[in-house]
Amino acid sequence: MAVINLLTAINQALDQKMADDDKVVVFGEDAGYEGGVFRVTAGLQKKYGEDRVFDTPIAEAAITGNAIGMAINGLRPVAEIQFDGFVFPGYTEIVTHMARYRNRSRGKYGLPIVVRFPVGGGIRALEHHSESLETLLGHIPGLKVVMPSTPYDAKGLMVSAIEDPDPVIYMEPKRIYRSGKQDVPEEMYRIPIGKAKVVQEGSDITVVAWGAMMREAEKAIKLLEGENISVELIDLRTINPIDEETIIESVKKTGRFLVVQEAVKTYGPGAELMSLVNEKAFLYLEAAPTRVTGFDITVPLAKGEMFHFVQPERIAAEIKKVAKF
């Protein structure tokens, strides 16, 4: 067991899967020699060579397109996109080919590809460097989409993603790459894709979050100490497929539901989760399901970004409002 941060946990998972399976290849802009912008792939090229860990041109469509060709020919590519907002040039290949290959072959063939990239804000970055795109990718049939919130989950989800027979979008909340450490087993293990985690049991309200928003939700719950509100906190972990069972069973117990997302409000995952609760747990509800989200704007630049992000005080106020309804 070693105490490591989220970034190191991902690096460890990549390292162990590359050692375990010589079909695993890692590539992207600066992913080889430099080890990526945030050094998630640091040391891998030196250990496994330039044939398996290599740099690419600044061409995201080529990165995702080549990943498809590699997977068709038997490799297990792990493709890095440098920042969230840069995934758009590669979006066509992801949506029109990567996601559809299983359906297009009538279930015969899958594409074992992981597309990983940093996501979200909080590092005072430039435009196109702070976006939360889980809605755009979670909406597409044929794609699995995951986002860890802890080092332990980051490693286990990455191992599962690489071993999955179909494409997995692996989103890494960049603001918590290095903020906090956790005991992580040194041996390889797996976190099932599509399985949420009840982080804290409670009886008055169910709160669901993921990625960096888990930290903000936990801070909000601490702000409510003394308010006599028992919060059940769930880490969604996987945006698609949604773990409906864990969420619905929780809401049936608490009767109240709040979802927290960093992404902009309109058409976000929060809307999908609220709809799910209305469809499958309506008769158990004591208050209307609600959400705390980013605003419907382009993510502001450094000086303004904190006004856009969800703060613990906003979450705490909404929990109190729904719980007291």
- Tell me the catalytic residues: 129
Dist CA 107 CA 84 (whole Å): 30
Peptide bond into 173 cis (omega under 30): no
- Residue 281 Cα distances to 24, 200, 233, 251, 269, angstroms: 42, 20, 17, 7, 18
What is each CA distance from 301 to 165, 195, 232, 309, in whole angstroms? 38, 34, 34, 12
CA distances 101 to 168, 195, 247, Å, are 13, 24, 30
The single-letter code of the amino acid at 170 is Y
Distance CA 220, CA 241 (A): 27
Inter-residue contact 221 to 231 (CB < 8 Å): yes
248 within 8 A of 280, measured Cβ to Cβ? yes
**Bridge pairing between strands 205-209 and 53-55:** unpaired
Instruction: Provide the token pair at 203.
Output: 């009886």
